Amino acid sequence: MIPKNAKKMARLFESMATRLKELENGYSEKEMKIIEDFMNKSGEILLQETIKMKKKTKGKK
């Protein structure tokens, strides 16, 4: 089910989506694959390290 304010929300992100598409158009397909790989791997590292930090600080308040 689509929220009744989905169109309103889409308009809020329209400018950002346009600018990101313009940025993407400055790269070749090969470069975008490299960027995508980097973003996926760095996102996974961020998630893993966040979990580790939470475990280390749990109960240390």
Six-digit token string for 58: 């749990």
pTM of the shown model: 0.67
User: Buried b vs exposed e over 29-44: b needs ≥16 C-beta within 10 Å?
Assistant: eeeeeeeeeeeeeeee
pLDDT at 4: 78
pLDDT at 1: 59
pLDDT tens profile 29-58: 999 999 999 999 999 999 999 999 999 998
pLDDT at 8: 86
Label residue 10 by pLDDT band (50, 70, 90): confident
* Confidence check: pLDDT of 61 > 80: no
